[in-house]
Amino acid sequence: MTITVPIAAPAPARRSSRRWIALSILPLAQFLVVLDASIVNIALPVLGQQLDMDTAALSWVITAYVLALGGLLLLGGRLADRYGHRRVFLIGTAGFVAASALAGLSTTSPTLLSARALQGASAALLAPAALALLTYLFPEAKDRTKALGLWGAVAGVGSAAGVLLGGVLTAEYGWPSVFFVNIPVGAVVLVAVPLLITPDARGVRTQLDVPGATTITGALVAAVGALSAVEQVGVLDPLALCLAATAVVLGIAFVRIERRAAEPLVPLHVFRNRHLAVGNVIMLLLGAAMVALFFALSVFMQAVLGYGALTTGLAQLPLAGVLVVVAAVAPVIIDRVGAGPTLVGSLVVLAAGLFWLSLASSQALFSTQILTPTLLIGLGLGGAFVTTTQLAVDGVEEREAGLAGGLVNTSQQIGGAVGLAVLGTLAALRTESLVESGVATPDAMTGGFSWLFLGAAAVSLLGALVARAVGARRADPGQA
């Protein structure tokens, strides 16, 4: 049985009369968040040479961002509900721009790592607030689905465009440019949003759940840190085990606190909404497959096929193009056949593309073994991302829209960290086994990536099975 709570429609005076124009601006902030998780990768070698950072230190350029983002998303969403979605969104965007400038101007590794942590913390404010603003501007189901189509397209393009932009900017303007590129985009957002979106009402001024906020932030930081440690030093390393145990203990403590709190940070009743619960589970799985895919595909093209950074980025543009087109037409499909069938079909297509990609050899032809399967992947990702996001915010009251945005973004981040750690380890073990058996290094690496792509396909199929819980529900234009 689906438990759906209808959204109380905002008063007309509070809603922007230029909401479709605002929709062209809001996704830019999400683009920054997604882009910044991948664009830095290409610049790391040059950055390391100039700031005298070894491999271990360079890994923290990524980890500092992910830890702050993943650990603070739920708190960021709740702060947006409490103090106003537009207000928190603008604060997060301003912080992100300032942190990007600090990162680009860094001359020492401590300054850079501090800036990256500030970027992650700012992103944890703006990402859930932006999604909450979208649901606030588009309470009707049909319009919201269209808006989420653009949202999903921008997020997908951000993931794919990171490699291309990172290569171009680093080669032409140096590593600081991968941070400076955020400044003009953020400036446009900061100027346009106050003009296009009227302030939303603040939530009820109740006491913030400090114990809950502390424990869940600590649990998420420990969980992401454990996964990063697994990727870098192995599953049985004391650091990884200690962080994992800490995450479990704090997670249990958080649930106990939320059950007793008068005003909990995450009211557990929201998970009675089946669509929200299913959407977050699928986003967890989709994030795992998506992050592992883009990481492995970029490395495979460069380390095995011998593509340069720019060529690698260009080779992924068709995937991004298909994703954008599908995300744009997904609302029409959802409206006609329902969220359930659309999501199941998208995840099956995604799994088929990943399986096809797993068959690529170390001498793979781009047209048949790379291009065609990645087009299928773009097709599946576009439909799955839009539909999953819609499910995760379906039937949520306006006063908890920030929480819903924080939950779905947290699911994506945690899923990505888990997927990269688990599937990356699987690929490394397979590659090591093949090398020890005498297989040439390019073929051994190809074998490892093949297992990673197969694992991602299996995760996508698991998501399709979970999506069956949605059923054949059709979108109801009168229901939000």
- Which of the four CATH numbers 3.90.1150.10, 3.20.20.450, 1.20.1250.20, 3.30.2130.10 does domain 12-208+265-470 have? 1.20.1250.20
Q: What percent of the chain has pLDDT over 90?
A: 23
Work out the number of other CB atoms within 10 angstroms of the CB of residue 25: 19
**Residue 446: pLDDT band by 50, 70, 90 thresholds?**
very high
pLDDT on residue 346: 94
User: What is the SS3 string spanning the chain?
Assistant: CCCCCCCCCCCHHHCCCCHHHHHCCHHHHHHHHHHHCCHHHHHHHHHHHHHCCCHHHHHHHHHHHHHHHHHHHHHHHHHHHHHCHHHHHHHHHHHHHHHHHHHHCCCCHHHHHHHHHHHHHHHHHHHHHHHHHHHHHCCCHHHHHHHHHHHHHHHHHHHHHHHHHHHHHHHHHCCCHHHHCHHHHHHHHHHHHHHHCCCCCCCCCCCCCHHHHHHHHHHHHHHHHHHHHHHHHCCCCHHHHHHHHHHHHHHHHHHHHHHHCCCCCCCHHHHHCHHHHHHHHHHHHHHHHHHHHHHHHHHHHHHHCCCCHHHHHHHCHHHHHHHHHHHHHHHHHHHHHCHHHHHHHHHHHHHHHHHHHHCCCCCCCHHHHHHHHHHHHHHHHHHHHHHHHHHHCCCCCHHHHHHHHHHHHHHHHHHHHHHHHHHHHHHHHHHHHHHHCCCCHHHHHHHHHHHHHHHHHHHHHHHHHHHHHHCCCCCCCCCC
**Residue 10: pLDDT band by 50, 70, 90 thresholds?**
very low
424-438 per-position pLDDT tens digit = 888 888 988 999 998
Instruction: Retrieve residue 397's tokens.
Output: 């009251």
276-326 per-position pLDDT tens digit = 888 889 999 998 898 788 878 877 887 889 887 678 778 888 888 888 788
pLDDT on residue 152: 67
pLDDT: is 361 or 10 the higher one?
A: 361
**Spatial distance between the Cα atoms of 101 and 458, rounded to a whole number of angstroms:** 40
pLDDT: is 16 or 211 the higher one?
A: 211
Kindly list the domain boundaries of the chain, sorted by start residue. 12-208+265-470
Above 60 in pLDDT, residue 8? Answer: no
**Spatial distance between the Cα atoms of 291 and 159, rounded to a whole number of angstroms:** 8
Average pLDDT over residues 136-145: 76
Above 90 in pLDDT, residue 104? Answer: yes
Instruction: Retrieve residue 384's tokens.
Output: 């799955």
**Spatial distance between the Cα atoms of 219 and 200, rounded to a whole number of angstroms:** 31
pLDDT on residue 403: 76
142-176 per-position pLDDT tens digit = 777 777 777 766 766 666 666 667 777 877 888 89
pLDDT on residue 64: 82
> Which residues contact residue 405 at a Cβ distance below 8 angstroms, ignoring those fewer than 6 apart?
77, 80, 127, 128, 129, 130, 131, 132, 135, 393
- In this structure, is the dihedral angle defined by the CA atoms of residues 228, 232, 235 and 240, taken in order, positive or negative? negative
225-272 per-position pLDDT tens digit = 787 777 667 777 888 889 889 999 998 998 898 888 877 877 777 778
**Residue 91: pLDDT band by 50, 70, 90 thresholds?**
very high
pLDDT on residue 456: 95
What mean pLDDT is reported for the chain? 81
**Spatial distance between the Cα atoms of 90 and 133, rounded to a whole number of angstroms:** 11
